[in-house]
Amino acid sequence: MALEQYIRDIVDFPKPGIIFKDITPLLASPEGTTECLQLLINSLNDVKIDKVIGVESRGFFFATLLAHHFKAGFIPVRKPNKLPFETISASYALEYGTDSLEIHIDAIHKGDKVLIHDDVLATGGTAKAVCELVEQLGGEIVQVNFLMELTFLNGREKIKEYPLFAAITY
């Protein structure tokens, strides 16, 4: 099954010149979701996983399914001021400025085997920031995986020291 059939292109969203990759048709399809989840699971080759991180917000969808499959804890990484407990944060560059992500300080323990999941690997800034948070808390990154990788943006370069998998590449 070609997962690309479930990804809808939205031209000029969120601004002119951008082609947004909409995953809602994939999420609406039980067959597509099952196929995608199985690809993500198979990419891990029976690696032990203690925690699965989902990156706000589209990373949450498959991260919770992966956590359930691996009998691991699910950890949300969110934009600032969205988590109720004490957090640490990491900043990353945007096209015009910076942004940051936060994680609870007790979400990961030293030596936890951590899978990071997000919907898309673009420039790599978000993924790199999440990797920094995991390592700051003492976690060991077993893989960083994505539904999609936009290879023309070279985001892989920012996280090349980690195992990486994308179910779809553009």
Residue 124 lies in a domain: yes
For 122, list phi and psi in degrees, rounded to 5.
Answer: -110, -100
CATH code assigned at 126: 3.40.50.2020
Whether 58 is catalytic:
yes
Integer Cα distance of 4 and 26 in angstroms: 9
Residue 21 lies in a domain: no
Residue 53 lies in a domain: yes
Whether 95 is catalytic:
yes
For 18, list phi and psi in degrees, rounded to 5.
Answer: -100, 140
- What is the number of domains present in the chain? 1
What is the mean predicted confidence (pLDDT) over 123-147? 97
Integer Cα distance of 16 and 12 in angstroms: 4
Query: Is residue 97 over pLDDT 80?
Result: no
* DSSP classification of residue 159: G
Query: Which of 95, 25, 82 has its CA nearest to residue 56?
Result: 82
Residue 87 lies in a domain: yes
Domain range for residue 92?
Answer: 46-169
Residue 15 lies in a domain: no
Residue 84 lies in a domain: yes
Residue 105 lies in a domain: yes
Q: Do residues 33 and 26 make contact, with C-beta atoms less than 8 angstroms apart?
A: yes
Residue 6 token pair = 């479930």
Give Cα 146 distance to the centre of its chain: 5
Local structure of 71: helix, strand or coil? coil
Integer Cα distance of 170 and 153 in angstroms: 10
Tens of pLDDT, residue by residue over 11-48, are 999 889 999 999 999 999 999 999 999 999 999 988 99
Q: Which residue in the list 8, 58, 102, 156 is annotated as catalytic?
A: 58
Q: E-strand spans in the chain?
A: 8-11, 19-22, 51-55, 73-77, 87-94, 97-104, 113-121, 140-149, 164-169
Query: How high is the pLDDT of residue 95?
Result: 67
Q: Which residue in the list 56, 78, 95, 161 is annotated as catalytic?
A: 95
Residue 162 lies in a domain: yes
Task: For residue 122, name the pLDDT band (cuts at 50, 70, 90).
Answer: very high
